[in-house]
Structure 1
Amino acid sequence: MRVLITGATGLVGNAVTALCLDQNIEVNYLTTSQEKIKTEINYKGFLWNPEMQTIDKRAFDGVDVIIHLAGASIAQRWTDTHKKEIVASRVNTANLLFKTLASIDHTIAKFISASAIGAYPSSYTHYYKEDYPDYNAGFLGEVVEKWEQAADQFAAINIDVVKIRVGVVLAKDGGALQQLIKPIKYYAGAPLGTGEQWQSWIHIADLAGIFVFCIKNKVSGTFNAVAPNAVTNEGLTKVAAKKMGKPLFLPNVPAFALKAALGEMADVVLESQRVSSEHIQNEGYNFQFAYIEEALENLLK
């Protein structure tokens, strides 16, 4: 089996690529940089330019599944320019893949797109499953709706579509965990806002595992990629501090201070989404890290 991955050199892409290769799934990947091109039997790079809507069509040779992870980071101040880039980097890349596949003979049977739990409205009480009908009314909801619409179009050319709504990714190198532990290291850690907002998290190993599970199994539709046991922001902060052997003695960082520092991007840490993992578990995926304590023990040891 061979997959084609966009965003293969990012945090999630690196983990998915490594797991694919470990399980004897060959990988093609798309990159905008000639310097990142490698040509090995099981790992081959190809150039594309989403802005110019050009792509090396050899990237699709022998490919069974596309994994679409490309997208500009949301962890950067949301200026009007960057907001446009966040949307375009997800949608225009998917559109280029779709337009190209619609014009060539290919062997691709499945399109797996990253998405995000920012799809769901902020709530302290609701327990969200994939069939919840409404998107978040804020910018994150707008991004996810357009992102998922771009993925859905592949069904029109008889390709199965899987959308994986990713939670807060915890990893050793990069991602949300590094931002969380940085102030804790220097005795400046504190919960954010009320601290009561739900954080539906996932260990990077399980996130990669879910993508590969969807490659290898006959599944389609939308899946939440979150661990079975969400925690509050305060709970996450306390467990991280405990695992690091650091005290927490500062008051919560007030929401107004976060909004002053981060602008609209403060939504990322202040919104609350408690999200269900039942759908992917019912399909047969078994989590390696179901509880935050064991996840942070693994990542912070």
Structure 2
Amino acid sequence: MRVLITGATGLIGKRVTQLCHEKGIKVNYLTTSKDKIESQPNYKGFYWNPQKGEMDSEALKGVSAIINLVGENIAQRWTREQKDKIIDSRVKTAALLYKTLQNNNHHVSHFISASAIGIYPSSLEKLYTEENESVDDSFVGKVVVQWEEAADNFSDLGMDVAKIRIGLVLAKEGGLLEKLKEPVNFNVGSPLGDGKQWQSWIHINDVAGIFVHVLENKLEGVFNAVAPNPVTNKELVNELASKMGKPVWLPNVPAFALKAILGEMSRLVLSSQLVCSEKIEQTGYDFEYTNLSKALEDLIS
């Protein structure tokens, strides 16, 4: 099997690529940097420029599925310009893939797209499954709706489409954990807001594992990529501090302070999503990390 991956050099893309290779799956990848193009039997790079609508159609050669992970980091201050970049990096790239597939002979039958649990409205009580139809009234909600609509378009080309709604990714380098470790390391870590908001986390190994599981089993539809045991922000910060051997003695960072510092982006850390992982488990996926303590133990050791 050969798969085309966009965003292959990003946090999740690197781990998905590694797991594909471990399973004997060959990888083609797209890059905007010509000096990052490699050509090995199991790892071949191809140039694309979504801003100019350019893509090397040779990237589709021998490919039976696409894993679409490309997207500007959403954890940046949301200026109008940055908002446009965040949306375009998801929607315009998908449109270019669609156009290239439409205009070339290929054997791609499966399109697997990253998405995010940020589509679910903030709630301290509601447990969200993939069947939920309500959408958060924030910028993140808007992004995810357009992201998923762009993915759904590929069904018009006769492909099976899967959308993976990713939770808060915990990894050794990059992602949420790196940002949380900095204040904790200097003994200034504390819960954010009232600390009661739910954090539906997932270990990087399981994010990659779910994408490859969906690929190998030719699954379609929406799947939540979150660990089975979400925690509150307070529990997350306390567990992280404990694993790092650091105290949490400062009072909570109040919501108004976060809003003053981060602006509209404060929704990322203050919103609460209690998300269910049952659907992907019912397809036979077995989580490597179900417990936050074990996940942090692996990532911090």
1:209-229: CA deviation from partner (whole Å, max 9, x where unpaired): 000001100310000000000
Alignment RMSD (CA, Å): 0.5
- The code of the aligned residue for 1:260 comes to A
TM-score (norm 1): 0.99
Distance in 2 (CA, whole Å) between partners of 1:211 and 1:175 is 18
Matched, 1:160 2:160: yes
Distance 2:119 2:284 in 1: 24
Counterpart of 1:204 in structure 2 is 204
List alignment gaps of at least 5 residues for structure 1.
none
Matched, 1:184 2:169: no
Find the counterpart in structure 2 of residue 149 from structure 1.
149
SS of residue in 1 equivalent to 2:224? strand
2:56 aligned partner: 56
- Return the alpha-carbon distance in structure 2 between the equivalents of residues 191 and 179 of structure 1: 13
Paired with 2:182 and 2:51, the residues of 1 have a C-alpha distance of 35
Please give the alpha-carbon distance, in whole angstroms, between the structure 2 residues aligned to 1:128 and 1:262: 26
CA distance in 1: counterparts of 2:45 and 2:9, whole angstroms: 11
* Structural mapping, 1:204-243, within 5 Å: 204-243=204-243
In structure 2, the partner of 1:280 is 280
Q: Which amino acid aligns with 2:82?
A: H
* 1-structure distance, mates of 2:219, 2:22: 21
Tell me which residue corresponds to 2:267. Answer: 267
Hey, what's the Cα distance between the residues in 1 that align with 2:266 and 2:3? 35
In the TM superposition, what is the alpha-carbon distance from 1:35 to its structure 2 partner?
1.0
CA distance in 2, matches of 1:223, 1:258: 31
SS of equivalent residue, structure 1 residue 86 = helix
Partners in 2 of 1:60 and 1:150 — Cα distance? Answer: 19
Q: Partner of 1:161: helix, strand, or coil?
A: strand
SS in 1 for 2:29: strand
Match of 1:8 in 2: 8
Q: Distance in 1 between matches of 2:135 and 2:96?
A: 25
Residue 130 of structure 1 and its aligned partner are, at CA, apart by 0.4
Preserved CA contact (<8 Å) 2:110 2:218: no
**What amino acid is the match of 1:248?**
V
Task: Tell me the secondary structure at the aligned position of residue 162 of structure 2.
Answer: strand
Distance in 1 separating the partners of 2:256 and 2:162: 38
User: For the residues of structure 2 that align with 1:5 and 1:262, how far apart are their CA atoms?
Assistant: 32
What whole-Å deviation, never above 9, does each CA across 1:168-227 have from its counterpart, x for those lacking one?
A: 000001110010111010000000001000000000000000000011003100000000
- The answer to whether the 8 Å contact 2:5/2:29 transfers is yes
Q: Distance in 2 between matches of 1:278 and 1:46?
A: 37
> How far does residue 36 in structure 1 lie from its aligned partner after superposition?
0.6
Distance 2:269 2:237 in 1: 12
2:104 matched to which residue of 1? 104
Q: Secondary structure at the match of 2:123?
A: coil
Q: Deviations over 1:224-253 (max 9, x none)?
A: 000000000000000000111111100000
Output the amino acid matched with 1:36: K
Question: 8 Å contact 2:197–2:271 — kept in the other structure?
Answer: yes
Number of equivalenced pairs: 301
Partner of 2:119: 119
Q: CA deviation at 1:104?
A: 1.3
* Partner Cα separation in structure 1 for residue 263 and residue 36 of structure 2: 34
Q: Which amino acid aligns with 2:182?
A: K
Q: How far apart are the structure 1 equivalents of 2:58 and 2:104?
A: 11
Q: Distance in 1 between matches of 2:111 and 2:53?
A: 19
Post-superposition, which runs of at least 4 consecutive aligned residues in structure 1 deviate over 4 A?
none
Normalised to the residue count of structure 2, the TM-score between the two structures is 0.99
For structure 2, the residue ranges without an aligned partner over 5 or more in a row are none
Q: Which amino acid aligns with 1:61?
A: K
Matched residues, percent identical? 56
Over residues 234-283 of structure 1, what are the superposed CA-to-partner deviations in whole Å (9 max), with x where a residue is unaligned?
Answer: 00000000111111100000111111111111111000000000000000
Structural mapping, 1:50-89, within 5 Å:
50-89=50-89
Structure 2 residue aligned with 1:39: 39
Q: CA deviation at 1:75?
A: 1.1
| Deviation digits for residues 47-101 of structure 1 (CA, Å, limit 9, x no counterpart) | 0000111100000000011000011001110000000110000000001001111
